[in-house]
Chain A
């Protein structure tokens, strides 16, 4: 029975719920902008690592090139989307 019960996954699941709850603090309490952002940023990074290592098994990949290409591509698309959006919608908006 012990082998059948996926302890790490349950812990992972519970902690990702917990992290979401902590993030909720930001709208429930009157925090400063910087404080709120810090909480969101930190919980988001922990959350992402949890997903990557526990549920997406990043550590268990033998094929390092495929893994790195994939992460590189994901970073490229993610960063381009975020900073491209900021560039187009805020920084570069009606800038001459």
Chain B
């Protein structure tokens, strides 16, 4: 391979990106050396097994990826804002929408959710960490290096360009000869294994580590949503693992699984992709439902209406989500029977989803609502998501879908579900739990400004796409002529995208501003909330709970507050057993990165060496003796007194 094939050349924008990447990668080590922070970074973050810190790292990565995916989105909107625009050429546009889709779903939505669940779930169930803290760190570093691997593709070798769904035969070696789709199969594989382990970790955590007395039906709704999500992850992600492995074999080892001849079947890829892909949609939406349930109950000052029906509807969703995948390719050419069956299952899944909407509405009814920033996102979610849901039912009708399929109508639909669903959800959760992690609230005024910008601009950006789609504008179209008449609505959508950008900048500015000026928070329970995480001081000490709380009902913390009771038993502190930090997960992640990179370019010898190194880190782990450490009683007393500002 020649050097000019290795680096992507010939695009001024890419050169600018290369320069900035080089500058950043010089600036970060230089800054770390200058401020003498290497040791701090290594000890406190890179080697940490603390679920709260891992959660924070997930969220930081997700925010960075939101920025990256957002820039991609802006570029696309700018390109299509006017007819016959020449900002991006066709190939570049393909690479950008593909990267945008992959990054937004797998490297923004997923880590944001996993970050929040890392921070919150152990606290909500009264545990001191997750079941397998070390595995948790491995999960994070696999995700992180998988994401980095995909991110370098646009300057080294070229990005994947066959859409985030990478349909065959387009994604085959024959039609996508660059290494772009090798990045796809390997980066997603590495990150996906990390996610699978997270699913197992949280399933075990929730089943095994709940505080005494917390029966399953007394768990907070967010924890319930994560339990269900973990189950879906465990059963859906292996399908992706297999599909990606087959894709890699096809592209790099000459197999013919998805080929059009020799007994291969190209559409089998689409089939496997969506067997994972539809449950994946619920993996990113159910946790958001959980977040909204917490927020709505807290700020309506009422217990959640219909707790049981909420739980059952999630269980039903988890089963039905495996029964609907064919609705993504109704137009492939199967018979009426197949399409009808999957139409019906798809419409059926909207029933439990509707149940949840009504539960939230009934929770709000007659509540004493306080309009905080997280609550505003939750309230805006309900009507906007309903539009997404209704258009989803329209798309679910197979015969009508022949009209909508792969038009801008579809693009509008899935953004109407993913943005108010997932993105508003994680932003709401971010505002809501921020004081728990950092000890101060984000500023409400700035938060509300950001909210209004985001909520209004979102509709300006995406509502026009419904109309454009019905008028016949197809998806993934990099330009169009003036005579199509698509110009004005696309321009309107661009205006909205600029508004969204302003909203997100305000959000980030709010983090900066609040860090500097926002008053520190001392109670640990700034929202007067209901679940156990608020019984800890903020920021939460390493061991979470000085004494394990004992729970007897749902919202036990709320009732304890009302009755002036304590959730812990009388008596002295006892030493707390905690896991040790370790560098092995990080090093293993780095090894995976190099392994993936060499594999992308089919450099076998380096790949084998990196692979051996990965096995070496595992062998090290197997023979390692690490019994963790104890936090002494004096240390607990000191920490608790300092954080709570009182004698116990």
The interface residues of chain B lying within 8 Å CB-to-CB of A88 are 271, 326, 334, 338, 342
Q: Does B246 contact A (CB under 8 A)?
A: no
The interface residues of chain B lying within 8 Å CB-to-CB of A87 are 338, 341
Q: Does A66 contact B (CB under 8 A)?
A: yes
Least distance between B269 CB and chain A CB atoms (Å): 11
Q: Is the CB of B334 within 8 A of A94?
A: yes
Q: Given contacts A85-B271, A92-B334, list 17 more A-B pairs with CB under 8 A.
A: A73-B231, A73-B235, A77-B235, A77-B322, A80-B322, A84-B275, A85-B268, A85-B272, A88-B342, A89-B268, A92-B335, A92-B337, A92-B338, A93-B333, A93-B338, A95-B334, A95-B337
What sequence of 0s and 1s flags, for each residue 64-96 of chain A, a beta carbon within 8 Å of any chain B beta carbon? 001000000110110011001101110011111
Q: Is the CB of A94 within 8 A of B333?
A: yes
Least distance between A87 CB and chain B CB atoms (Å): 6
**Chain A residues packing against B (C-beta within 8 Å):** 66, 73-74, 76-77, 80-81, 84-85, 87-89, 92-96
The interface residues of chain B lying within 8 Å CB-to-CB of A74 are 235
Chain B, Cβ-Cβ closest to A85 = B271
B window 308-332: CB within 8 A of A: 319, 322-323, 325-326
* Whole-angstrom CA separation of A94 from B267 in the bound complex: 14
* Whole-angstrom CA separation of A73 from B279 in the bound complex: 14
B window 331-372: CB within 8 A of A: 333-338, 341-342
* Whole-angstrom CA separation of A66 from B204 in the bound complex: 11
Q: Is the CB of B335 within 8 A of A94?
A: yes
* Whole-angstrom CA separation of A85 from B322 in the bound complex: 12
* Whole-angstrom CA separation of A96 from B337 in the bound complex: 7
Q: Which of B239, B325, B335 contacts A95 (CB 8 A)?
A: B335
Q: Beyond A73-B235, A80-B323, A84-B323, is A89–B337 a contact (Cβ under 8 Å)?
A: no
Please give the number of chain B residues whose Cβ is less than 8 angstroms from any Cβ of chain A in the complex.
23
Q: Is the CB of A85 within 8 A of B275?
A: yes
Most buried by B among A84, A88, A92: A88
The interface residues of chain A lying within 8 Å CB-to-CB of B342 are 88
The interface residues of chain B lying within 8 Å CB-to-CB of A96 are 335-336
* Whole-angstrom CA separation of A66 from B323 in the bound complex: 23
Q: Is the CB of A89 within 8 A of B267?
A: yes
* Whole-angstrom CA separation of A19 from B332 in the bound complex: 38
Q: Does B265 contact A (CB under 8 A)?
A: yes
Chain A, Cβ-Cβ closest to B265 = A89
* Whole-angstrom CA separation of A87 from B337 in the bound complex: 10
Least distance between A92 CB and chain B CB atoms (Å): 4
Least distance between A18 CB and chain B CB atoms (Å): 22
The interface residues of chain B lying within 8 Å CB-to-CB of A76 are 319, 322
The interface residues of chain A lying within 8 Å CB-to-CB of B337 are 92, 95
The interface residues of chain A lying within 8 Å CB-to-CB of B217 are none
